[in-house]
A and B are shown apart, each in its own frame.
With several copies, the nearest count.
Chain A
Amino acid sequence: MLFQLTDRPIEPLISSLHPHTGAIVTFEGRVRAVNDDREVSSLEYVAYPELALHEGHAIVSEALERFDIIGACAIHRTGHLVINDIAVWIMSAAVHRKEAFEATEYIINTIKARVPIWKKEHYSDGETTWVRCDHCANPHDHSKQSKASLKRKRYATR
């Protein structure tokens, strides 16, 4: 399955690997608590399923043609999501790492540009809005969090 939509939590699981696989690069798009300086409490993703599945499948197929990879797949969540939930999960597997990085980045960039999925942000003040895109169409300045403040809290693995 090259591209899936699901309204259930995404649990990444790489089950069956080609024995020549030397590199796997995954991308997780997570729900952020802050977007454009507004405090987000939750999100709603809505897809146009027939076209989204067609485009998603085409994008992963294009990656398999363009890059020397062994396999790739992508899953996009729909429905109601909360902070830190995985909205999209992408994986590319290759013999060598360069191609796996390139393919995964290509797939997420192209999904964001082409797949008909929309995001409604729910803010902590009760307002909601359909986001035009994560990082480009809003007219006001995308002032960044200071790096120091972001680094105050670290996360760990197990």
Chain B
Amino acid sequence: MTILHITYFAALRDATGYSEETLTTEAVTAKTLFYELTEKYHWRFTETDIRIAINDRYRPPDTPLKEGDRVVFIPPVAGG
């Protein structure tokens, strides 16, 4: 089991009702964590919509998670 800090922005913040949460998970990669949280929150995003940041850097979806990681799922960006 791993303790992680998740931060939500924009549409994911609206979908979860949280700006951040700390949770304990069996998920080994960011991708499996994403599916776990999709079950929990029923958000409308799929894996292809989302990029993943771990500790404030973009990382591939199969990145293994470590205790204390800050994880952010990045919905489609719209800057500029």
Direct contact of A and B (CB under 8 A): yes
Count A/B pairs, Cβ under 8 Å: 73
Could you list some 25 contacts between A and B, CB below 8 A? A47-B79, A48-B9, A51-B53, A51-B57, A51-B58, A51-B74, A76-B80, A87-B79, A108-B80, A111-B79, A112-B77, A113-B77, A116-B53, A116-B74, A116-B79, A117-B77, A118-B10, A118-B77, A118-B79, A130-B78, A131-B78, A132-B75, A132-B76, A132-B78, A134-B80
Give Cα A131–Cα B79 distance, bound, in whole angstroms.
10
Chain B residues within 8 Å of A, Cβ to Cβ: 7, 9-11, 14, 53, 56-58, 72, 74-80
The verdict on A114 contacting chain B, using a C-beta distance below 8 Å, is yes
The contact of A115 among B7, B56, B57, B77, by CB within 8 Å, is B77
Contact partners of A108 in chain B: CB under 8 A: 80
CB distance from A95 to the nearest CB of B (A): 14
Interface size class of A (residues with CB under 8 A): 20 to 34
Contact partners of B79 in chain A: CB under 8 A: 45, 47, 52, 76, 87-88, 111-112, 115-119
Contact partners of A76 in chain B: CB under 8 A: 79-80
Contact partners of B58 in chain A: CB under 8 A: 51, 55
The contact of A118 among B7, B11, B56, by CB within 8 Å, is B11
The contact of B74 among A48, A54, A130, A132, by CB within 8 Å, is A48
Contact partners of A134 in chain B: CB under 8 A: 78, 80
Tell whether A116 pairs with B80 under 8 Å between CB atoms, given A46-B10, A50-B56. no
The verdict on A29 contacting chain B, using a C-beta distance below 8 Å, is yes
Tell whether A118 pairs with B75 under 8 Å between CB atoms, given A46-B9, A48-B9. yes
Contact partners of A119 in chain B: CB under 8 A: 78-79
The verdict on A133 contacting chain B, using a C-beta distance below 8 Å, is yes
Contact partners of B80 in chain A: CB under 8 A: 29, 76, 87-88, 108, 111-112, 117, 134
CB distance from B47 to the nearest CB of A (A): 16
